[in-house]
Chains A and B, each alone.
Chain A
Amino acid sequence: MIELTNVSRRFGEVTAVDRISLTVETGETCVLVGSSGCGKSTTLRMINRLLPHSAGDIRVDGQDIREVDLQQLRLNMGYAIQGTGLFPHWTVARNIALVPQLQGWERARVEARVTELLDMLGLSPAEYADKYPAQLSGGQAQRVGVARALAADPNILLMDEPFGALDAITRENLQNEMLRIQRRLRKTTVFVTHDIDEALRLADRIAVMDQGRILQHDTPDAILRQPASAFVESLVGSQDRGLKLAALQSVAEVMQRHPQPRQAVPEKVSVGAQDSLRQALSVMLWQQLSELPVVDDQGLELGVLTRERLWRETA
């Protein structure tokens, strides 16, 4: 758990972060979102003391971070940033092994861990372990960056716009990857982004920041349904808020389930159970259908999604 109480950060005369209070529960992903200069990165960097806070209290798992040894504090927090910050003179494997090595793990354990992480992030260890960062694509390098942050199995993950510099398709892949990993590992995560869609996608709770203050701290659903101020409303966009809400829910949550799964009719237009309502809506619009069969990975039809039901759920 991370608790910020009345935390401020001043740079000379400028107040970058102004008396914010924020609690990130254990296992929760909190996304700080806002335009550049709103204080979101500053807030993140105060948690691992890359920047000391000027006033207030920051506690990690109940302990004041100023009372913890600086190196120890950071070794227990995974850190991934935009542009990866991978060491160009080290191989992928050595980059990932950084924190375990600093913590003095045995060699065999480090190697096993590196292999495990490369597998987890979809990079074949045989192919990538001995490559250098310059030989990777942007998406691959960022995967290695995430693997490095996870290497020593830290309780806390700090991520500063890690996917900010990637193209849209790669970014979406990595967001999916992130969600998958997060479902499995449940790290207490603070994630900074300026992209509201990324925030809505990844967050358990979102903190919207502007001019050094937190305007609203709530679930993605609540941020969309009840924006606390005009700024938040403009950030989430008034026109396509319905689509954003639809993107938050999966088809499986709202479909009418068959009593027994049945064999799906091949060739028939359908949606996957894990697809979002937004994708289902798009298929309905495009194919001019009022209901869609919902199928799972094995090709079994689990239920149907009707237009009426979709309407009701996204209202």
Chain B
Amino acid sequence: MMRHWLTPALWLLVLVAGCLGLPALEPWLQPLVDGRQAVIYPRDSFVTLLLNHLQLVAISAAAATLVALGGGIAVTRPWGRDFLPMASQLASIGQTVPPVAVLALAVPVMGFGDGPTFVALALYGLLPILRNTLAGLQGIDPAVREAATGMGMSSSQVLLRVELPLAGRVILAGIRTSVTINIATAAIGSTIGAQTLGDPVIAGLVNGNTAYVLQGAVLIGLLAVTVDSLFEALEQQWLKRTPGLSG
């Protein structure tokens, strides 16, 4: 029955298996490195790196969603409409700044570590969500909003029962984009001292150890695919609950 949850479950299984099982692949990875180097990334376990990576992305995504959703709703209310052009511009300009630049800018302000990475991720992740919140809310047929108001719904009833359910799918797609981008960006956070799955990649690049790079890259890729398919399943679930929108 819940067939759309099957794919993310399978990917999650592969991801966990990868984290726990990579060390067992040592003999096969041996040819990638010269004799004196270690084959498996030794400093932290992959599980620790994965959990820290996830935590960083999850907290920053939660913060970004709260701020972007709140902001998007605010600028589409009658009292906040003056700021709508500014918010739309910000959302589109923000997309042209590469994530690495955001990380680099965070360092002089906050130093190294998880902190600046978190701030950079939250700021960067805000923009796709804001853009989609605006698109979702503005894409609602004006007649629907007029009817809702004209029939006597209060403004909060219109927002919660009509606007958000109708815009929800587009907003969810924005969160999906934001999180997927930030899984990759968080890995680059390793360059400024965050502890993530990017660590083996950076260490491998610095020391010329291709096996490290491969281990990090494979796990980051698996994580991105798992989370993305999770969102896909969420969207399917959303569609199932609101069949009127699928046409």
Contact = CB atoms under 8 A, between A and B. Distances in A.
Interface residues of A, number: 30
B156 to A, nearest CB: 11
Interface in B135-166: 141, 143-154, 157, 162, 165-166
B98 interface: no
A114 interface: no
Interface in A134-182: 134, 145, 148-149, 158
Interface string A108-135: 0000000000000000000000001110
Contact of B150 (A48, A72, A83, A132): A48
A105 interface: no
Given A87-B162, A88-B245, A133-B244, A81 B147 contact: yes
B147 A85 contact: yes
B141 A71 contact: no
Interface string B59-98: 0000000000000000000000000000000000000000
A74 interface: yes
Contacts, number: 72
Contacts of A84: 143, 147
A87 B144 contact: yes
A86 interface: yes
B245 A89 contact: yes
Residue among A50, A85, A99, A134 with most chain B CB within 10 A: A85
A45 B146 CA distance: 10
Interface in B180-199: none
B247 interface: yes
A203 B200 CA distance: 79
A307 to B, nearest CB: 48
A191 interface: no
A300 to B, nearest CB: 45
B244 A99 contact: no
A142 to B, nearest CB: 12
B244 A91 contact: yes
Contacts of B151: 74-75, 79, 98-99, 102, 148-149
B146 A81 contact: yes
Nearest to B244: A132
B148 A87 contact: yes
A15 to B, nearest CB: 23
Contacts of A89: 165-166, 242, 244-245
A132 B243 CA distance: 8
Contacts of B146: 50, 81, 85
B123 to A, nearest CB: 32
Contact of A83 (B141, B243, B244): B141
Contacts of B150: 45, 48, 50, 74, 79, 81, 85, 158
Contacts of B143: 81-85
A134 B244 CA distance: 7
A231 interface: no
B152 A71 contact: yes
A140 B157 CA distance: 26
A130 B83 CA distance: 40
A295 B89 CA distance: 70
Contacts of A71: 152-154
Contacts of A72: 152
A24 to B, nearest CB: 18
B149 to A, nearest CB: 7
A99 B144 contact: no
A223 to B, nearest CB: 28
A90 interface: yes
Interface string A65-77: 0000001111100
B244 to A, nearest CB: 3
Contact of A90 (B154, B157, B244): B244
Contacts of B152: 71-75, 99, 102
Contacts of B145: 85
Contacts of B154: 71
B147 A88 contact: no
A135 to B, nearest CB: 8
Nearest to B145: A85
Residue among A71, A73, A82 with most chain B CB within 10 A: A71
A148 B150 CA distance: 12
Contacts of A148: 151
A50 B146 CA distance: 8
Nearest to B166: A89
Interface of A: 45, 48, 50, 71-75, 79, 81-91, 98-99, 102, 132-134, 145, 148-149, 158
12 contacts: A50-B146, A50-B149, A50-B150, A71-B153, A72-B152, A75-B152, A85-B143, A88-B166, A88-B244, A89-B165, A89-B245, A132-B243
**5 nearest CB pairs, A to B:** A85-B147, A132-B244, A74-B152, A75-B152, A85-B143
Given A74-B151, A81-B150, A86-B147, 19 more contacts: A71-B153, A71-B154, A73-B152, A75-B152, A83-B141, A83-B143, A84-B143, A85-B144, A85-B146, A85-B147, A86-B144, A87-B166, A89-B165, A90-B244, A98-B151, A99-B151, A102-B153, A134-B247, A149-B151
